[in-house]
Each structure stands twice: as structure tokens, then as C-alpha cells.
Structure 1
Amino acid sequence: MDPDIAPDTVSAGPGHRSSLVYRALRRAIIEQALAPGAKLPEDAIGEQFGVSRTLVREALARLASEGLVEHRPNRGAAVAYPSLEEARDVFSVRRAMEMLAVEELCGRLNPDAIARLEAHVASEEEAHRRGGLESIRLAGEFHLLLAELTGNAVLNRYINELASRCSLILAIYGRPHSSECAVSEHRDLISALAAGDAQRCRRLMDDHLGAVMERALISPRPERDIRDVLARYADAEGLLAAAPAPRTTRKRRTAS
């Protein structure tokens, strides 16, 4: 799942603070609070998180290596905006990788692994009842947990990157889906994995990802100020900076 450090280690050093900035930004992107194409100005992010631009730059570079951020010449960093062609390619590869994951796990899950999966699905259900964006992230993290449980480090890395990029793709080309339906599908998959029903596992995973891929285009959401978007993510990671001075609007000069 999430390999990063806990919030209480924020004072351990710059590397740890950079990791927390990475984690906060990643969550904001995965939960679609930061929309694809949204600008990521280093000064505004550093101000919100109370860190230097250098640490922000390190976090953005890490996100860029995962395909979640892109650096545009003379325009700075922005949340990645995959093309429709790239979206199809990403989903195609993800389906293949996740089919391999369920084949490796089918009939091989021990009681502790099954308990972890069931606990995660319970968290998904609770997030759905509360509403909000957390359910989007948790739905994706179910697949990351499956990848982790394979014990295959290469497969785990690829699925993590692909699942993250799929979250961006859904923010552009998908419509909001029913978290309740996703939770039900996840429970069915756990049952098939525990029973060792390989054919059913493959069918459930293929149907699940196929349905996600087929969702229709939705209208883009309006862009929000990045400080407002990141405020709760900074707080969650223990990075909340001192309250910045009120932002003022510059008056335009008019020709006399």
C-alpha cells in the first residue's frame, strides 16, 4: 500500500518532509481534488505546506516519475492530462497486470491476507456512507493491496503506477461511479480468491475493469485555488503552515 512514512516523523529531516509533501499531493490528485491539467506552482504549494520550494520540487519530480505530474517548458508543473489514446493504452495494460495478480493470489491467500482485504472493504463502505472524495482513493487502493499481497515487487510497482494514472483518466473521461457497486464487486472478488476459483476470479476482475473503462465523458470541473484544495491534505500530513497573509487582488492599470 502506501510505503511512505507516518506524519509523526515530519521533524526527522528534509527528506521526510519531502515525502509527506509527495504523499499529500498524491492523495489530492488521486481523490480528484486537483483536477488533471491543474497548475502546481511551487511557491503556493510550499506556502501551504510550510516547506521550501526545493522540497516541493523533489515531491513533484517523484510524482512526475509515476506519470501523475508533467513538467511543461516555461510553464511549470501541472497535474498530468492523459490523452484518450494514452488512456486506452493504460487501461489495456492495467487489465493484463491485474489479471496476473489475481492468478497469483487465487487460492493462496492466508487468513491474515483475507482479513486485510475485508478490513479495507469495510473502510470503503464507511467512506461511502460518509460521502466525499475518500471513497475514490480507497476504491483504487483495494487494487494496490491485491498487488502488494502477491509479494511480486515488479508487479506491485507497475500496478501502483497504472492504478494511479487510471484515477487521472477517470477524472477526465469517466463519470462518477457507484462506490456501493464497487464495494460489492470487491467483496465478490475476495470470495472467489479465498475459494480458489481461478476462472471466476479472472472473470470478475476483467468485468470490473472493463466496466470502469467504458464510463462516459463528463464535463470538466471548474479550477480552484491550489491553497484551498491542499489545506486539508497539509493538515492530514502534519504539514499545515502558519496562516498566510490574506491574498489581495491587484488592480489593473487602465490607460488614461
Structure 2
Amino acid sequence: MSKKLSQFIGDDLRANPPFPTAPLTLAALATHYQVSLTPVRQAVRELVAAGVLEKSATGRLRYRTNPPSLPAQIPQALPRDWEDELRRSILQRSLQGDQEFLREEALSEQLAIGRTVLRQALHRLAGQGFVEHVPRCGWRARELTLTEVDDWLRVRERLELLALELAWPHLEPDTLTHLRDGNVGARLDNDLHRYLIERAKSPLLRTLFAQHGAYFAALFDHAAPETRMEEAMAAQHRAILDALIERDLDRASATLAAHIRAQRRIVEKLLKQLRSDQK
């Protein structure tokens, strides 16, 4: 699905530049298209190779003054992300404590995909911690407990504080300001965390978060709106970003740590809410 998203983004950037005068950054584009950094990075790489975009000596992106004449197809709509639908469905099962095995035939019909493609997606989701495969039985959603959430948050706090320390020399003021503007009122933008990991420039940290953090990132992204905590989380993001913009590392670290710990209460509230509805 990432390839289709990158094609959509690339075509749209050629036809409708979203930031003709404002700074053009990966984080800003990801926020604009409401996607992760992966398809944005792929689209930008292809547009740089095609001569539509170029990087300055300092690494900043900008449109070329005289780009080559390229046939740009204007997409009508963002392609349907069936894998995201599958991920959301499995996350909901996990939150509800539903341990019934998935029915591949029903899922493939619901998503309008073949069972071979479905199994490939389930293997990827297993690698990200969303499902587990039981030999001779099939697939089932991950069983979630608050103990598991506590374990991850302790590990995440230490890893993300390390990411902040490594990213500190590479933070871009324009991007920080843009990220802060994305967290206004109840509008919650979680790209701050992805940005810190990206700017840490540590392949090991990226791998650890990709392999062990994907499930929990989806969990926390889902939990805040479901518990109506977006405004509180957005305010915490702004406090972190204010400290980063003001170059106060100690305050940024303390605020980031408190923000990560606060997510335990949100998940606990969501689990009580969902599982009480089942009684």
C-alpha cells in the first residue's frame, strides 16, 4: 500500500504544491496528507530523481524553478487502504479482549482481497505485534493487558529520551513550529514522536520502534480520541515543542517523559470503557 500512497502524493505534489512559499519538510507533508513519513519519503525521493524537487546545500527541499515537463496524473481520491482497515479491525479485537481466531475467508471477502494476499498482510502484522499465529489453529488478535502497557511505556520512555538526546543537534526550528501548529485545541498530531526518532539518525532506534512500537503507536493513536483526551494530549505536545523551540533540553525531556507516562491512564480508561460495555 505504501507504493500506491507514494504515487498519489507524488502526483499531487506535481499538480498542486501544498506549500509554494512555506518550508517544505517531510513532517509537514506527512501532516498534510495524513500519512506516515514512509510514503512521503518515497514520493520525495522519486520527485528529486525526476527533477521536480531539489535539495539545497543544507538539505532543505524546494521546488525547482524550471522543472522538466512531466505528465502529471491528478488523482481523484486517496486509494483505499485495506491493510489499514485490517489493522484497525484487529486492534479493536485486541482492545475488546476478543481471542476468537480470525476467519480468513470472511476477512478476504470483507476486504475484497485474495487469501494469499491476506496471509501476507497477517504475517506483516504479526511482525509488528498485532496478531499471533497458533500452529494448526490460525490467527488471533494480540491479548492486551495493562501490565504489558506498563512494560512498553517504561521501555519507550528510555528509548524516546535517548532519541531526543541524539536528535537534539539535528532539530529544525521550522519543522518544530509546524508540528506545534498541528496541535491546536483538540487537534492532535502525533508526528512529534516520529520526527524525534527520524532526526535521531539511529537505524537501531528506528528498527526497535518499527518492530516493537507499531502496535502500541496504533493503540495510543486510537485511545486518545476514543476517551476524548485529544485536547490534553495536544497540550502536552505543545509544551514539549515549546521547550524544543526554546532550546531547553531539560524541560523538553521532563515534559516528554511525563507525556509518555500519562498514556497509561488513557489506555486504562479505554479498556474499562470497552470491556464494561461487553458485560
Q: Structure 1, residues 11-38: CA drift from partner, whole Å, max 9, x if none?
A: xxxxxxxx954333234556x4874544
Counterpart for residue 259 of structure 2: 208
8 Å CA contact 1:107, 1:195 repeated in 2: no
Identify if the C-alpha distance between structure 1 residues 200 and 72 changes in structure 2 by more than 3 Å, giving closer, same or farther. Answer: same
Counterpart for residue 4 of structure 1: 2
Report the identity percentage.
27
8 Å CA contact 2:163, 2:197 repeated in 1: yes
- The one-letter code matched in structure 2 to 1:220 is L
Distance in 2 separating the partners of 1:178 and 1:20: 26
Distance in 2 separating the partners of 1:90 and 1:207: 15
1:189 aligns with 2:243: no
Kindly state the Cα deviation for residue 76 of structure 1 after the two structures are TM-superposed.
2.1
2:87 alignment partner, one of 10, 26, 40? 26
Instruction: Give TM-score, length-normalised by structure 2.
Output: 0.58
Distance in 1 separating the partners of 2:90 and 2:192: 17
Counterpart for residue 179 of structure 2: 117
Kindly state the Cα deviation for residue 78 of structure 1 after the two structures are TM-superposed.
2.0
8 Å CA contact 1:46, 1:52 repeated in 2: yes
Aligned length: 198
TM alignment of 1:62-211, pairs within 5 A: 62-106=124-168, 108-118=170-180, 120-121=182-183, 125=185, 128=186, 138-139=189-190, 141-166=191-216, 176=227, 178-211=229-262
Kindly state the Cα deviation for residue 82 of structure 1 after the two structures are TM-superposed.
3.1
Q: Secondary structure at the residue paired with 2:3? A: coil
Which 4+ stretches in 1 moved above 6 angstroms?
168-172
Q: Structure 1, residues 121-179: CA drift from partner, whole Å, max 9, x if none?
A: 35xx5xx46xxxxx6xx54x54223322323232123234444333576689xx92511
Could you list the runs of 5+ residues in structure 1 that have no partner in the other structure?
11-18, 130-134, 224-256
TM alignment of 1:225-244, pairs within 5 A: none
Could you list the runs of 5+ residues in structure 2 that have no partner in the other structure?
9-79
Distance in 1 separating the partners of 2:206 and 2:109: 34
Q: Secondary structure at the residue paired with 1:71? A: strand
Distance in 1 separating the partners of 2:166 and 2:112: 43
8 Å CA contact 1:94, 1:162 repeated in 2: no
8 Å CA contact 1:144, 1:156 repeated in 2: no
Distance in 2 separating the partners of 1:162 and 1:192: 28
Identify if the C-alpha distance between structure 1 residues 110 and 8 changes in structure 2 by more than 3 Å, giving closer, same or farther. Answer: closer
Counterpart for residue 227 of structure 1: none
Q: Whose RCO is larger (CA < 8 A, sep 6+)?
A: 1
Kindly state the Cα deviation for residue 111 of structure 1 after the two structures are TM-superposed.
3.4
182-191 vs 111-120, which moves further: 111-120
Distance in 2 separating the partners of 1:113 and 1:153: 21
Distance in 2 separating the partners of 1:176 and 1:76: 32
Instruction: Give TM-score, length-normalised by structure 1.
Output: 0.63
Distance in 2 separating the partners of 1:29 and 1:167: 14
Cα RMSD for the two superposed structures: 3.5
78-87 vs 186-195, which moves further: 78-87
8 Å CA contact 2:132, 2:141 repeated in 1: yes
Identify if the C-alpha distance between structure 1 residues 116 and 48 changes in structure 2 by more than 3 Å, giving closer, same or farther. Answer: farther
Counterpart for residue 13 of structure 2: none
Identify if the C-alpha distance between structure 1 residues 34 and 80 changes in structure 2 by more than 3 Å, giving closer, same or farther. Answer: closer
